[in-house]
Amino acid sequence: MNYEFFIAKRIIGSKAYKSSISAPIIKIGIAAIAIGIVVMMVAIATGIGLQQKIRDKVVAFNGHVTITNYDSNQSQESIVPISADQEFYPEFKTVDGIKHIQAVATKFGVIRTETDFEGAVLKGVGGDYNWDYFKEFLVVGKLPDYTQNRNEDILISEYLANRLHFQLGDKMQMVFAKADPNKLPNIITYTIVGIYNSGYQDFDATYVIGDIRHLQRINGWEPNQIGNFEVFVDNYSDLERKGIEIFQNTPSTLNSQTITEKYYSVFEWIKIFDNNIYGIIGIMILVAGINMITALLVLILERTQMIGILKALGSNNWSIRKLFLYNATYLIMLGLFWGNLIGLGLLFSQKYFKLIPLDPSVYYVTEAPVFISVSYIVALNVGTLVLCLVMLLVPSYIITKISPIKAMRFN
């Protein structure tokens, strides 16, 4: 029988232990562990959740990699067309890990009503467009279908719909200027079949989604001419490598750009979340460890006579240290239990009830997103337990300095 574990269980289960002088300090130590776990869990869940949400919103409007002409300017409007007759389209077979590629075009226009007007970019898409992201964004109505004949169905953001007082099923006119200023602009009357809200206000205030064939007609392009290609990869963590491979497997007249390059400032900003998470984890573990060290020292001082008796009976220093480390492990586990219970409760409440809103103009999302995964929860608990126990090895060394004779007379 492991007698150290046996004695530790008896100490923990005794009434004297629960009403001893050290009881308040022990409770503070348990509370510190619990609070630390809650804070770390919330920091990781919201940090990763915010990174993923912002990333997914950018990907929804741009793909992971954009293939354009070298002579395209930096505006959001497709000026010089690209032939859709490319070896990599409609399937990018020369690069592994490519999930989808689609052809799109963009053109600036003005949405006008009887009383108001608003500038917007019409993103023209075709039957190959990946609607997976917009299924999540859709607020009311349906997604347009551009797989059949050319039509005037359009998807507009909730932001623009509210500003221009549009509702589902309304007609709206969009005016497109021609390259020749002496010619009359093109006016297309669209029908709003769906309203979306991505939560990324910069995009919501900019884009409406329509049929690419309208832009081909307005620009005088051939049916096989498009503005640019958007490429989606299977694994975001491989984006940098895939971006290089895509660039190497496209014609020399075309350029490719990943979203991390195109929106450099946004992705540099969300990288800061990683530093914040690491900082919070380090501080919380340090605080929890210090509290547990204090609790362990109080326990040792309170049980000095017991230590002397055990030494007199032949127990070595390591056995007695193990006894107190078992005790400390129980306290840490208790703190972890309550911390996980409270932390997961808060995270699931936020996930399903959206209790904490955020300003989309600052954070690009309307509420604090949370990412819940068993892997990081287990790693967080195991890491906290191991690091706290490692920190407790040092104060437990004080046991080796206790003399049996002096300890048994200690009062």
Q: What is the pLDDT of residues 60-73, one digit of tens each?
A: 999 999 999 886 55
92 inside domain: yes
Of 252, 279, 296, the domain-final residue: 252
257 inside domain: no
Of 197, 223, 252, the domain-final residue: 252
Q: What is the mean pLDDT of the segment spanning 164-182?
A: 90
296 inside domain: yes
260 inside domain: no
Domain count across the chain: 2
Q: CA of 394: how far to CAs of 36, 235, 316, in Å?
A: 21, 44, 17
153 and 118: one domain?
yes
99 and 241: one domain?
yes
Quote the percentage of the chain above a pLDDT of 90: 65
Does residue 253 register a pLDDT over 70? yes
Does residue 410 register a pLDDT over 60? no
Q: CA of 386: how far to CAs of 56, 145, 148, 238, 335, in Å?
A: 35, 55, 61, 32, 14
The whole-number pLDDT of residue 350 equals 94
391 and 329: one domain?
yes
Q: Which helix (H) or strand (E) holds 212?
A: helix 212-219
CA distance 279 to 373: 20
Specify the amino acid at residue 71.
D
181 and 313: one domain?
no
238 and 272: one domain?
no
Query: Which distant-in-sequence residues (6+ apart) come within 8 Å of 409 by Cβ?
Result: none
Q: Mark residue 354 as left, alpha or beta (left: phi above 0; alpha: psi -120 to 50; beta: remaining).
A: left
167 and 271: one domain?
no
Of 195, 220, 252, the domain-final residue: 252
- For the chain, the residue count is 411
Q: What is the pLDDT of residues 98-132, one digit of tens each?
A: 999 999 999 999 999 888 899 999 999 999 999 99
Q: What is the mean pLDDT of the segment spanning 135-139?
A: 94
Nearest to 288 by CA among 24, 32, 30: 32
Give me the phi and psi of 62, to 5 degrees please: -135, -15
118 inside domain: yes
360 inside domain: yes
Q: What is the mean pLDDT of the segment spanning 248-271?
A: 93
The whole-number pLDDT of residue 144 equals 96
The residue with tokens 């001893």 is: 20
Nearest to 228 by CA among 126, 120, 95, 156: 126
62 inside domain: no
CA distance 36 to 45: 14
Sort 375 into a burial class: Cβ within 10 Å, 0-12 / 13-18 / 19+. Answer: exposed
299 inside domain: yes
The residue with tokens 């210090």 is: 290
The whole-number pLDDT of residue 218 equals 92
CA distance 343 to 127: 44
On the question of a cis peptide bond just before residue 395, with omega within 30 degrees of 0, the verdict is: no
78 and 193: one domain?
yes
The whole-number pLDDT of residue 363 equals 82
Q: What is the 3-state secondary structure (H, E, C) of 42-103?
A: HHHHHHHHHHHHHHHHHHHHHCCEEEEECCCCCCCCCCCCEECCCCCCCCCCCCCCEEEEEE
The whole-number pLDDT of residue 107 equals 94
Q: Give the domain extent around 224.
A: 71-252
The whole-number pLDDT of residue 1 equals 54
Q: CA of 163: how far to CAs of 57, 118, 119, in Å?
A: 21, 9, 12
Does residue 271 register a pLDDT over 80? yes
The whole-number pLDDT of residue 240 equals 94
Answer whether 177's CB lies under 8 Å from 112's CB: no
Quote the percentage of the chain above a pLDDT of 70: 95
The whole-number pLDDT of residue 5 equals 78
125 and 194: one domain?
yes
Give me the phi and psi of 325, to 5 degrees please: -70, -35
Cα distance from N-terminal residue to C-terminal residue, the chain: 31
The whole-number pLDDT of residue 74 equals 57
Task: Record the pTM.
Answer: 0.84
Nearest to 235 by CA among 90, 370, 64, 93: 64
Q: Which helix (H) or strand (E) holds 159?
A: helix 158-164
51 and 87: one domain?
no
Q: What is the mean pLDDT of the segment spanning 372-395?
A: 93
Q: What is the mean pLDDT of the segment spanning 127-154?
A: 94
The DSSP call for residue 405 is H
The DSSP call for residue 398 is G
Does residue 300 register a pLDDT over 90? no
Q: What is the pLDDT of residues 28-38, one digit of tens each?
A: 888 999 999 99
247 and 339: one domain?
no
Alpha-carbon radius of gyration of the chain: 31
Does residue 411 register a pLDDT over 60? no
CA distance 133 to 94: 25
CA 238 vs. chain centroid, Å, equals 17
Q: What is the mean pLDDT of the segment spanning 358-375?
A: 87
Mean residue pLDDT of the chain comes to 89
Question: In the chain, what is the greatest distance between 2 CA atoms, to the nearest angstrom?
Answer: 107
Q: What is the pLDDT of residues 310-322, one digit of tens each?
A: 888 888 888 888 8
The whole-number pLDDT of residue 358 equals 85
112 and 243: one domain?
yes
Query: Which distant-in-sequence residues (6+ apart) come within 8 Å of 257 by Cβ?
Result: 65, 66, 68, 243
Does residue 14 register a pLDDT over 80? no
220 and 281: one domain?
no
